Structure 1
Amino acid sequence: MPKNKDAVYYSDYLKLDTLLAAQQPHSPKYGAEAHDEMLFIIVHQVYELWFKQVLHELRAIHADFSKPQLDDKALYLVAHRLRRVLTIQDLMNDQVAVIETMTPQEFLEFRDYLVPASGFQSIQFKELEIRLGLTRKTRIAFDQQSFYNRLNDHDRSYLEELEQQPTLFDCVDAWLARMPFLEFKDFKFWDMYQKAVNEALDHDEAIIRENAVDDDQLATELKGIQANRDNFAALFDNDRYKVLQENDAVRLSQRAMLSALFITQYREEPAFNLAWQVITSLAEVDEKLTIWRYKHAMMVQRMLGTKIGTGGSSGHDYLRRTTEQNRVFKDFFAMSTYLLPKSALPILPERVREALGFSSLSALEKGHGAT
């Protein structure tokens, strides 16, 4: 790196004159300044700065996943950057407590001056959701109808163009789908896995039949066992899996789901541990966004009760529904549905274990792993 030839002054480098002049309360235009409007502005500006950094990380992660192959060095950087995003999300979630130091009455002193400005118009947050993979059809009905309604032409055009590009979800799905199903010659993992699943469910069913208190309880619990059998069977049946996708029960492609399942089952193997960390981190990004939406919803309910939001939404009710539905990587959360205890897992043959120990995930992705 070349040496810096010019002296750099702290406030010039950080553009503090511009940054610290960006807080312009509206309440003085109509009378006395509402003291807490400054807090309101700063908290939201800080959120936008963190959104900018999160997007900076996500764009780099997205670029890596968009490559035809993802080598181990790039995968390490992806895992590292996802951990940074998670740390920022923790800070964003904690920041809700700062805005909650403002009482509802203090907010009402300047709320009407904000109309029709709203969090709906946060282009960075909308971009964050789109880049992750929250498509228009997966949003709640109000979002589908009004997602672009309150935006200016420039912002609307930018987001509409962004929606036409592959999302991070799409790229992660393609990356997982490229993984081999690890059919090591005579070692047929998925055949052994299905056998282990059936044995485990047969064992559970036997316990239920022996310990049921009455016929109603027996029928209910056996129905649950059958539902589990159906879920497992759908993993290996193309038509049944497509039905699950059509009903929005799963979103990952079948090949990607099976690869993610294998990686999760054998996450302690050196070839898969880093990929498992990435899968887990993506699920945590989704989880922390859900927590942020929930905290935001609770804060809005505290401030507004059942009033309509400044952007025209139903306030707390709208935010509560986005918390429940606007998820991207929910399939990684549901992975535990298909996990077996280690004691029931097919034992990897020694030659397979040795090969995995010396293979990288990128080598397996290229098809040069264990055979």
Structure 2
Amino acid sequence: MKGGYKLSEKILELNNITKIYEDNTVIKNLNLYVRKNEFITLLGPSGCGKTTTLRLIGGFETPTSGKIYFEGKDITNLPPYQRKVNTVFQKYALFPHLNVFENIAFGLRIKKVSEGEIQTRVKNMLSLVNLDGFEKREISSLSGGQQQRVAIARALVNEPDVLLLDEPLGALDLKLRKEMQTELKKMQQSLGITFIFVTHDQEEALTMSDTVVVMNEGVIQQIGRPEDIYNEPKNAFIADFIGESNIIDGIMLEDFLVEIFGVKFKCVDKGFDNNEPVDVVIRPEDITLSRENNGKIEGYIENVIFKGVHYEMTVNTKNYTFKIHSTKMEPKGTRVYLDVEPDNIHIMKKVR
């Protein structure tokens, strides 16, 4: 149970999806399912294949190979208008010659819905997106955030089972973007429909999602809850891409014991070969500093930046420059010793 509603059985399934443009393989044998009522986010850097995946789900692209199923039915070759999905694009694609009401009503008029029902459904949508009283406004008179709400209302008024959102917050300023993250999540929970959201913004994905799908170079790297993606990254790419990380060469001496730059640290990982070279991932906020020699890694404060809720410090050791986040500031030039609790050390195999 999450967010006051229950995630249910799968509604959408992508089986062995590959998409090739000329000689460029954008999606490589992708397998993914999405559950009813789920807020799932496709996250990754530019060019990783997340928007292509969304367009395949929406019917705007056809896979080179593989199948797409909606509630068990093969929809691989169905056009967009025959799918129970609607899309909100980054650039909104609103009609400048139509007012707010008619923009939202457009899809209903195409379906020849009765005027009475159009009036009711559009007004309900305006209320849902906090635009009561905006019916007669021209699109050009709206702010970016208001235009985004109109685009969402236009998609939702058609009552899709799945709403696809392709970086819809990308054009908003930071404050409005954060407000809309909260609004979108509330909207999704109150409607109880499936949202599939695309973003390259890690914080956005962690804030809004039930499930995060991390992609890189057309391949799914990890699927999991935001907490698991952040705290238990499966490889160095994810650790580096999701938040900030110190990724260090280490030696796994034995189960639960790793060596970093000649210093031994207890950890919670096992199953590696004795003396196996590994990548050690430590988040900046998980490192503690001491001015007293505790036998751990020695260094000095190279730089200090105040970030509002914490200080960001870089600590120069003879082998590596660590990034550290702390609510306590140590002056530049201070000699310090770095320590980490076992639970905060993440060990992963090196990619060969």
- Give the TM interval when normalised to the shorter protein: under 0.3
**Greater strand share, structure number:** 2
TM-score by length of 2: 0.26
Larger relative CO (CA 8 A, sep 6+): 1 or 2? 1
**Greater helix share, structure number:** 1
TM-score by length of 1: 0.25
